[in-house]
């Protein structure tokens, strides 16, 4: 089993998922991607996850709905939202739910790296 922090990437856009997996791995972390909130929830991997990179607008449960559901669990994990749906209400809801970051798309990779380093080191 790897000792590197595991980052879960939940986004319905395959290109975004693949790019983020590659980026997270180059930063020295493990990464797994999921195409929906439902796929993530059914994976059984939440206990091993160190942090989530989470889109807001997805088919099925939104990222904000997933955040609310995870906040009701016994294992709350840090969430960084990465979304093209970047408005004040979404940012406020994410922050009220405990999000540690909110980045718009296209993603500022340097800002993401700083957030991950601050969380995981």
Q: What is the CATH number of the domain that holds 66?
A: 3.40.50.2300
Q: Give the closest residue to 57 by CA, choosing from 22, 105, 24.
A: 105
Give the pLDDT of residue 79.
98
* Per-residue tens of pLDDT for the chain, all 121 residues: 457 999 999 999 999 999 999 999 999 999 999 999 999 999 999 999 999 999 999 999 999 999 999 999 888 999 999 999 878 999 999 999 999 999 999 999 999 999 999 999 8
SS3 call for 30: strand
- Find the Cα–Cα–Cα–Cα dihedral 55, 57, 60, 62, rounded to 10°: 60
84 located within any domain: yes
1 located within any domain: no
58 located within any domain: yes
- What is the count of structural domains for the chain? 1
Task: Output the pTM of the full model.
Answer: 0.95
Structural domain including 92 reads 6-120
């Amino acid at each position: 089993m790897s000792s590197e922090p595991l980052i879960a990437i939940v986004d319905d856009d395959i290109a975004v998922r693949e790019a983020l997996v590659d980026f997270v791995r180059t930063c020295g972390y493990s990464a797994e991607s999921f195409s929906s909130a439902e796929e993530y929830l059914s994976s059984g991997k939440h206990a091993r996850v160190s942090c989530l990179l989470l889109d807001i607008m997805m088919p099925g449960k939104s990222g904000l709905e997933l955040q609310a559901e995870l906040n009701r669990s016994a294992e709350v994990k840090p969430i960084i939202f990465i979304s093209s749906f970047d408005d004040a209400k979404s940012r406020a809801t994410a922050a009220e739910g405990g999000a540690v970051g909110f980045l718009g798309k296209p993603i500022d990779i340097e800002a993401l790296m700083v957030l991950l380093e601050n969380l995981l080191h």
